[in-house]
């Protein structure tokens, strides 16, 4: 049996995570690996209900600590119900966002202190860490243009001020600097083909290490 592992696709809003993750899933499936595609907020029936509450644009009054704890609650369920069992079965878990997003959005952008963020993440994860975070880095203004071009409205977080999204972007870059073995940054302003090519190089390296 293959050794299971987890790769997170994260980064700026609208940077192309969903586009890339679907292509990576196809690539791995064609190679014969069992893949679990998932996302945060969300990933489980309970997590998807929590997602609706978190992103609802009609409740801008949500306080920072409520938001943080909802992300934490969803993550605890996600890990217990979906991620750990899949890894134990030798599957490759591909997640659209995970704990790095909480550091970027709730700490670097929202301003909640690092100790509180770490405490909530630790409660949810108990030391669990994905093998790699692939950060798709893009100017959030460009990301919002891409999101709007899909013709959907903005969610509660996308509707924050530009300064908030810029701080979140910088939060990812800082985490990547601090943990170079666990993060890879890709310039998401490149074409879809170029982005995918670079992502697949990282995936091939991970397969050589873990599969
Ligand atoms: N959040 C948080 O605050 N704390 C946490 O702990 C977690 C999350 C886990 C929801 O995330 C919000 O939750 C998010 C962070 C916060 N808020 N913000 N902002 P989400 O992942 O659901 O939302 P999102 O970041 O806005 O993702 P998205 O809208 O799904 O975008 P995406 O998946 O990165 O991009 P896409 O759908 O693949 O691509 C967008 C469009 O661009 C689409 O039309 C593509 O065809 C096009 N595209 C993709 N790649 C390219 C390239 N390379 N060139 C040109 N066009 C492209």
Mean per-residue pLDDT for 156-178?
90
Alpha-carbon span 92 to 14, nearest angstrom: 24
pLDDT, position 200: 98
CA proximity to 99, closest of 126, 81, 60 = 126
What are the phi and psi torsion angles at 101 (to 5°)?
-65, -35
Mean pLDDT over each residue of the chain, to the nearest integer: 95
The percent of residues above 90 in pLDDT, for the chain, comes to 88
Alpha-carbon span 145 to 71, nearest angstrom: 26
Cα 29 to the center of its chain, rounded Å? 21
Confidence bin at 157 (pLDDT 50/70/90): confident
pLDDT, position 122: 96
Alpha-carbon span 30 to 24, nearest angstrom: 10
Confidence bin at 161 (pLDDT 50/70/90): confident
Q: How many CA atoms lie within 13 A of 133 on its CB side?
A: 24
Residue 140 has pLDDT above 90, yes or no: yes
Q: What is the CA radius of gyration of the chain?
A: 16
Q: pLDDT tens, 59-95?
A: 999 999 999 999 999 999 999 999 999 999 999 999 9
DSSP calls for 70-103: HHHHHHHHHIIIIIHHHHHTTPEEEEES-HHHII
What are the phi and psi torsion angles at 3 (to 5°)?
-85, 125
pLDDT, position 210: 87
pLDDT, position 152: 76
Region of residue 161 (phi > 0: left; psi between -120 and 50: alpha; otherwise: beta)? beta
What fold does the segment set 5-210 form as a domain? Rossmann fold (3.40.50)
Q: pLDDT tens, 20-32?
A: 999 999 999 999 9
| 2 Cα–ligand 1 center, Å | 30
The CA–CA distances, whole Å, from 120 to 55, 80, 117, 127, 195 equal 19, 15, 5, 12, 32
Domain boundaries, the chain: 5-210
Which of 8, 16, 54 for a ligand 1 pocket mutation test, highest count of atoms within 8 Å of Cβ?
A: 16
pLDDT, position 118: 96
Q: Which atom of ligand 1 is nearest to the CA of 71?
A: 6
Which of 8, 9, 14, 62 for a ligand 1 pocket mutation test, highest count of atoms within 8 Å of Cβ?
A: 14
Residue 204 has pLDDT above 70, yes or no: yes
């Amino acid at each position: 049996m293959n050794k299971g592992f987890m790769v997170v696709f994260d980064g700026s809003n609208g940077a192309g995570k969903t586009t890339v993750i679907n292509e990576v899933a196809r690539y791995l499936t064609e190679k014969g690996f069992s893949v679990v595609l998932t996302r945060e907020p969300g990933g489980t029936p309970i997590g998807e209900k929590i997602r609706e509450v978190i992103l609802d644009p009609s409740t801008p009054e949500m306080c920072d600590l409520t938001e943080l704890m909802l992300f934490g609650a969803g993550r605890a369920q996600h890990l217990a119900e979906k991620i750990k069992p899949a890894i134990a079965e030798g599957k490759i878990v591909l997640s659209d966002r995970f704990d790095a997003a909480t550091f970027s959005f709730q700490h670097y952008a929202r301003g909640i202190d690092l100790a509180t963020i770490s405490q909530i993440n630790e409660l949810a994860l108990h030391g669990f860490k994905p093998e790699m975070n692939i950060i798709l880095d893009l100017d959030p203004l460009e990301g919002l243009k891409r999101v709007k071009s899909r013709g959907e409205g903005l969610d509660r977080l996308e509707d924050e001020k530009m300064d908030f999204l810029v701080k979140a972007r910088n939060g990812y870059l800082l985490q990547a600097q601090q943990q170079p073995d666990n993060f890879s940054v890709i310039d998401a302003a490149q074409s879809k083909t170029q982005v995918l090519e670079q992502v697949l190089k990282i995936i091939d390296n991970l397969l050589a290490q873990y599969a």
